[in-house]
Amino acid sequence: MPFAKYFKAAFLYHWNLLAFLGGLGFAVLSAPTVVGPLVLAGELIYLTLLGTHSKFQKYVEAQEAKANREKKSASGEEVLQRVMGALPAKAVQRFDALRSRCLELRQIALGLKDPGQADAPLPLEELQLAGLDRLLWTFLRLLFTQHMLERFFQRTNGTQIKRDMETLEQRLKKLAEGPDDPQKQKLRKALEDNLETCRARLTNLQKARDNNELVQLEIDRLENKICSLSELAVNRQEPDFIVRQVDQVASSMVQTERTMNELQFATGLAVDEEVPQLVQRQAVPVKQ
C-alpha cells in the first residue's frame, strides 16, 4: 500500500498516540459501545487527512532520508575504523601525508578568496570538500586493497588449488564407472560443488594478480594528482580552478573504483560504502 508508511508515521506521532489512547481509556470507563466507535472514527479521519497531506508526506520523506544518511554515516565511520586499524604503519603514514596535502590545498584556497566577495561561499567548502574527501577515501581504499591483496597472495596457493582440482576430477571420473545409484549421485554432487569452488578460487586469484599492478599504479597516480593540485593552487591562485581540478580528478577515478569493486572478494569493502569526512576531521581514527 503506497500510503502505508505515511499512515504509520501519523499514527505513531506522539501527540496522536496520547490522544488516541486517552480516548480509548475514556471510552472504556464511560460508554464503550458509544464512545469507542466515535474515537476510532475520529482516528481514521485524522490518519486519512494527515497521511494524504503533501506537506506531511514530504516531512516523512525528509525524516526517512535523514535517518538513512545517519545510518550510512555511522557505517562509513565503522569502515574507516576497520580500514585504518588493518593498514600497516607505513601505509597509514603515507595516507596522513597526503591528507596533510589536502589540508594545505584547502588553506591555500581560503587564502586566495577575494576580500570583495565576503558574502560568497568559501572555496573548497561544503559540497566542494566532498570532492577532496572522495579522493582521500579512494586513496585509502586503494592502500587497503593493496594490503589485502598481499595477504590474499600469502594465503592462496594457486599450485595447490590446481592439484586439488586434478584430484577432484579424478574422483569424478572414477564415480562415472559402473552403475549409478543415489549414493553416487550425492557424492558426485559434493565433488562437483567442491570443484566449482576451486575454479572460482583460481579465477579470483588470477583476477587479483591481473589487478595488483594496476592498484599500485593507481595509488601512485592519485597521490601525484593530489600533490599536483596543491602546486597548481599556489601557481594559478584561482579558487574556482582548484575546485574544477578536484572535481576532474574525482571523476577520473570511476575506473579505479570499478577495479576495487571487482576485488571485493579480497577486501570485503562494499560497492556503495559511504564516503566518510576526512579533510575537516581533527584526526583520522586508528583502532587500537
Query: What pLDDT does residue 268 have?
Result: 83
Q: Of the candidates 283, 152, 127, 138, which has an alpha carbon nearest to the alpha carbon of residue 223?
A: 138
The pTM of this model reads 0.62
Query: Of 110, 76, 54, which Cα lies nearest the Cα of 285?
Result: 76
Q: Is residue 74 pLDDT above 60, yes or no?
A: no
Domains of the chain, residue spans = 4-52, 58-267
Instruction: State yes or no: pLDDT of 71 exceeds 90.
Output: no
DSSP one-letter code for 270: -
Mean pLDDT of the chain: 76
**Residue 18 DSSP class:** H
Quick one: cell of 76? 562509513
Residue 153 pLDDT level (bands cut at 50, 70, 90): very high
Higher pLDDT, 21 or 103: 103
Q: How high is the pLDDT of residue 121?
A: 46
Grid-cell match 558426485, residue found: 188
Q: How confident is the model at residue 277 (pLDDT cuts 50, 70, 90)?
A: confident
